[in-house]
Structure 1
Amino acid sequence: MKKILIVEDEQELANNICEILANLNYKVAAVVDNAVSALEFLEANSVDLVLMDILIHGDLDGIDLAYKIRDSYDLPIVFSTAYSGTEYLERISSDIHEGYLLKPFTLDSLKTAVFFGLKHHEEKLAKGKKEKGSLKIMDKGYLVPVPYSEITYLKADGLYTKVYTKAKSYLIRDILKSFEEKLPSKQFLRVHKSFLVNISFINSFNAKKVNLGETSIPIRRGLYKELLEKLNL
């Protein structure tokens, strides 16, 4: 029987989820409402999937908690959220989860999300896909391991650097050059004195700028040829 950890701060909803999962022949390992309790539980217990609300109690939200879980445990994560806006859904759409549920959800949608969350994770394991390192970032007093694959670009800001990910951004008291030395050179490129980008997110570019989705970043003179070689074009 598959064991599921529920991270949810709405007690009544958590109770309903427990009842539904039990009827679907899953075992609820525990119900917690914050990141600290979730991590403490995982340290001492094994589960097969984490069903997690985005907005939970405490300083860390569900997205940051997902980063920490993925850094230490190879577990599938299914998010749940009451926000239906496209911008918000795109913000949580990343490699740190296997699916999401939009509140209020039905029995069938919960059943489907959990089933495919477990299935997709098993498929990834079969293909040997694992995160290849992470950048350790201090955020609100917590160490958050952000996978390299989640970082889109970094921007220098004096003695600080702003790290942008697919989920959120972090302001860190360290110069950009320091990050250039920490991040894998095959994946990240200093395109400008103030920008370091993850080349996997570049969807178009010319001799003056690179485009990462809706974000345009200037590139230094003479980089165009190097960028072509980096992208194997």
Structure 2
Amino acid sequence: MKKILIVEDEEELAHNISEILSNLDYRVAAIVDNAKSALDFLEEYEVDLVLMDILIHGDLDGIDLAYKIREKYNLPIVFSTAYSGTEYLERISSEIHEGYLLKPFTLDSLKTAVFFGLKRHMEKSGKEKKPKGSLKIMDKGYLVPVPHSEIVYLKADGLYTKVYTKAKSYIVRDILKGFEEKLPPAQFLRVHKSFLVNTAYIASFNAKKVNLGETSIPIRRGLYKELIEKLNV
């Protein structure tokens, strides 16, 4: 019987989900409402899937918790959220979850999300794993391991640096050069004195700028040829 950890800060909803999952022949290992309790539980007990709300109690939200879980455990994660806007959903990276549920959800949608969450994780585990590597970011008193593959770009802001990931952004008290020394040069490129980008996210570029999806970033003079060589265009 597959064991599921529920991370949900709405107590009544959490118990309703637990009852439904039990009727679907899953075992609910525990119900917690914050990141610390979730991590403490995972230290002691094994589960097969984490069903998690994005907005939970405590300083860490569900996205940060997903990063921390991914750093240490090979577990599938299914998010639940009441926000259905496309822009919001696109911020939830496919690299840190195997599915998501839109609230309010039905018995069938919950059943489907959990089933495919477990199935997709098995399929991922059977494939060659991507090279690991993460950037440790201190956020609200917690150390959050952000995978290199999730970082889109970094922007200098005086003595601080803004780190933009696929899921959210962070402000860190460190200069951009400090991050440039920590990140793999084969993957990250200083395209401008104020910007360091993950080349995997470059959708297009010309002699003046690179486009990272909907974000455009200026490039320094003379970088165009280097970009062509680096990206094997």
The TM-score, its normalising length taken from structure 1, stands at: 0.98
Question: What's 2:178 paired with?
Answer: 178
**CA offsets 1:28-48 (integer angstroms, 9 cap, x no match):** 000000000000000111101
Letter in 1 for 2:122: E
Structure 1 residue 86 displacement after superposition: 1.2
Question: What's 1:204 paired with?
Answer: 204
Structure 1 residue 85 displacement after superposition: 1.1
For the 8 Å contact 1:94–1:150, the answer to whether it is kept is no
Equivalent-residue separation in structure 2 for 1:130 and 1:93 (angstroms): 15
**CA offsets 1:7-64 (integer angstroms, 9 cap, x no match):** 0011111111111111111110000000000000001111010000011001111011
Q: What are the equivalent positions in structure 2 for 1:1-233 lying under 5 Å apart?
A: 1-130=1-130, 132-233=132-233
Equivalent-residue separation in structure 2 for 1:231 and 1:76 (angstroms): 32
4+ residue runs over 6 A deviation: none
Equivalent-residue separation in structure 1 for 2:217 and 2:31 (angstroms): 43
Q: 1:130 to 1:22 in 2, by over 3 A?
A: farther
Q: How many residues align?
A: 233
Equivalent-residue separation in structure 1 for 2:130 and 2:48 (angstroms): 17
**CA offsets 1:103-148 (integer angstroms, 9 cap, x no match):** 0001111111101111111111100324511000000000000000
Q: CA RMSD in A?
A: 0.9
The TM-score, its normalising length taken from structure 2, stands at: 0.98
Equivalent-residue separation in structure 2 for 1:152 and 1:21 (angstroms): 36
Structure 1 residue 225 displacement after superposition: 1.0
Structure 1, unmatched stretches of 5+, are: none
Equivalent-residue separation in structure 1 for 2:75 and 2:47 (angstroms): 8
Equivalent-residue separation in structure 2 for 1:54 and 1:130 (angstroms): 25
Structure 2, unmatched stretches of 5+, are: none
Equivalent-residue separation in structure 2 for 1:142 and 1:35 (angstroms): 11
Equivalent-residue separation in structure 2 for 1:214 and 1:66 (angstroms): 25
Equivalent-residue separation in structure 1 for 2:152 and 2:228 (angstroms): 19
